[in-house]
Structure 1
Amino acid sequence: MYQRILLPIDGSPPSEHAAAVGLALAKRLGASVVLVHVIEPQRYRELRDVQEALERARTVGRALLEQWERKASRAQVACATQLTSTEPESRPGVAEALVDAGVAHGCDLVVMGTHGRTGLPRVLLGSVAERMARLAPVPLLLVRGDDTKPTLFKRILVAIDGSSCSDLALQHADELAGALKARLLVVYVVPDLSQLYVSAGRAWMFTDPAQLQAQLAQEQAHLREQGEFILREAAQRCKHARVHTVLREADRHLIGERIREVAEEEKAELIVMGTHGRTGLRKFLLGSVAEDVAQQARQPILLVRNPAALTHPDETHLPPPGER
């Protein structure tokens, strides 16, 4: 499973909580952590002297890293620290500096904090976390900043749809659940064809309402059979965890809403979802199932992106889980 976890540290409450979750997870997995602080002198604009602001930023960064290095030592988790910056000014931002650190240390998971239960989209879009999701093919675990309860990940939910992206998410969820001795819940939500017909403008094809309803019922039954098949195959592919499958009809509800509903019913402590596309999380979130889940779910979310989707020349390739 994951062998080296990147923990960005900036001193904010979400960062502190996420680092604590990441450190506890590393201990359970027998992994090491890499604590990284990115120096941002612009945070000290009240200091008129640029050099003085830079030194203040370095001092704060070193203190934060030393504090978390002591915590890692007490937890008996091997750690490395890195103080880095976005200097010179021509260099890209914080996310790029974190990705560089992840590459240098061979990290295969990133754990980051988000600001509040409903703040995830605002924090991600155009932010460090969104950039990290776009640039790094390694999984990104997003932890709510307002959730201070211990997270043991005893119940893990993975949402699948039969795509290659969800297949990779299933693989990660299975291995993680096995390593943590957790129960794995595999969920498939059957789309509501009546909504799809209306949104696609296909209802006009049927002048007879009874004919339309018959066609919808037939195709809906086919979708359900397809979902049952996908779940059976998914359960057979899981080799590491105790698996329970759930097929849920959307039935005029959003698919993301149904996923969150199952997560609450089953008391899931982690939701795993796949991402796809050249532009990564931004493309996957906007107008999608993941946007709804990310915006509303109370649980931490593990986003797994297929490295094969990284075709843009400015995107860096990080190693798959466990490889060096």
Structure 2
Amino acid sequence: MEPLAKHIVVATDFSACSAYAFDYALAWAEQSHAELDIVHVLPAGIGLDIDAAVATAYYQEQEKEARLRLDQLVAQAKECLPGARAHILRGLPADAVCEFASESHADLLVTGTHGWTGLDRVLMGSVAERIVRQAPSPVLTIRLTESASYHEDHESEAQGSVTQQPSSFIPSHLLVPLDFSDCSLDAMEYAAHVAHCFGASITLLHAVEPLSYGLDFQLTHPIENKQFRQKIESRLSELVHALQRAGLTADSLIATKPALDSILDTVVERAIDVIVMGTHGRRGLSRLVIGSVTESVLRHAPCPVLSVKSPKWRHRPTVSSMTRSEKSS
């Protein structure tokens, strides 16, 4: 069976969030027998005169510290992945990471995300969200939640020592939100590949949101239409059967809440380990106008999110191409 990834790149800023992402990258790379590159980005002198003596000394110290910490991570990784490497990049973090991933032909990117919302996100932005939009491959984003205490307790310890890789880093249950677009079907296809590699089960989720208020001020819901519901159930059944024919354990669920609420509730109710979502990778005005459910999930999900962007990821078609042909026949 083809491995999940042959080359994984993990980005780190040495925060607790990044440490958690590194644990996932290490576990997934070991499971897939993949190459692992660890990258850290130093800013390219924004707001400073790079020729000035003080600025030069500052960047030299930053680079020295970064190399020391990267060496510690590489030493840890080499206990199970002898070919692990580290790189210091320069520039804007998201641009530098995605450019490196593209040039090195990585087929999976792993990064932490702080899950900022509100004013913090407006002021600070999100490197993880930019990486998801720009990356040439699927991106696994890890938001630090209940595991914060683990890494905070270990921040002061020597990073050269090898930590045990908890089995929780290897997913056993995947959630795939579907709107039946090509983008979401690509995500389902990739989820099937992940499930095969890790022996995980898959739950397909379709959220049907309320449309409008009626004359009696009652919120009308399309799922109340019997014919509409049967159509959704039939389509989900086709996809579940396709996954089962591929040797996977799969089921489906129809939710009657807004997409974000449906996804987050299902994660808790079904003990989901990883959410696999499609993203259009929109930028500029179209992203501002249309928004992205995927980006909202990135900021709020209590578990990792694996974002799959169209055009399609590198692996050959397996499940979704079959279901699309069934739909057109």
Partner of 1:225: 230
Q: Which amino acid aligns with 1:188?
A: H
Secondary structure, aligned partner of 2:176:
strand
Q: Is the 8 A contact 1:108 1:321 kept in 2?
A: no
Offset of residue 286 of structure 1: 6.2
What are the within-5 Å matches in structure 2 for residues 76-115 of structure 1? 76=81, 78-86=83-91, 93-115=92-114
Which residue in 1 is equivalent to 2:249?
Answer: 243
Q: Which residue identity lines up with residue 144 of structure 2 in the other structure?
A: G
Q: How does 1:49-64 map to 2 (within 5 A)?
A: 49-64=54-69
CA contact 1:33–1:77 (8 Å) conserved in 2: no
Cα offsets for 1:94-139 (capped at 9, x unmatched): 2111112112221011111112586899299833222212211311
SS class of match (1:298): coil
Higher RCO, 1 or 2 (CA under 8 Å, sep at least 6)? 1
- Cα distance between partner residues in 2 of 1:120 and 1:145: 19
2:212 alignment partner, one of 197, 220, 237:
197
From 202, 208, 223, the equivalent of 1:184 is 202
Query: Quick one: which of 167, 174, 179 aligns to 1:156?
Result: 174
Most deviating of 124-133 and 173-182? 124-133
Provide, for residues 83-104 of structure 1, a one-character-per-residue CA deviation record: whole Å limited to 9, x for no partner: 2212xxxxxx121111121122
Q: Choose the corresponding residue for 1:272, options 259, 276, 290.
A: 276
Aligned length: 290
Quote how far apart the aligned CAs of 1:68 are: 1.3
Q: TM-score scaled to structure 1, two decimals?
A: 0.77
Rate the CA distance shift 1:288–1:85 in 2: closer, same or farther, 3 A.
closer
Residue pairs, 1:245-264, within 5 angstroms:
245-250=251-256, 253-264=257-268
Picking from 277, 296, 299, the partner of 2:300 is 296
The answer to whether the Cα contact below 8 Å between 1:26 and 1:32 also exists between their aligned partners in 2 is: yes
Quickly say closer, same or farther: Cα 1:233–1:158, change in 2 above 3 A: same
- Counterpart in 1 of 2:160? none
**Other structure's SS at 1:175 match:** helix
Counterpart contact for 1:96–1:132, Cα < 8 Å: yes
**Deviation at 1:51?**
1.2
Gaps of 5+ in 2: 151-167, 317-329
Percent identity at matched positions? 28
2:118 and 2:139 mapped to 1: Cα distance? 17
Per-residue deviation, 1:183: 1.4
The residue type paired with residue 196 of structure 1 is: L
Give, in whole Å, the separation in 2 of the partners of 1:143 and 1:307.
Answer: 23
For 2:100 and 2:65, how far apart are their aligned partners in 1?
19
Q: CA-atom RMSD, angstroms? A: 3.5
Matched with 1:306 is 310
State the match for 1:21 in structure 2: 24
TM-score normalised to structure 2 length: 0.76
Query: Take 2:276 and 2:59, find their aligned partners in 1: how far apart are those partners?
Result: 39
Partners of 1:68 and 1:300 in 2: CA distance: 21
Distance 1:221 1:285, change over 3 A: farther
Cα deviation, 1:224-259, whole Å, max 9, x if unaligned, reads 122212212222433655232222231xx3222122
Whether the 8 Å contact between 1:44 and 1:57 is mirrored in structure 2 is no
Corresponding residue SS for 1:10: coil
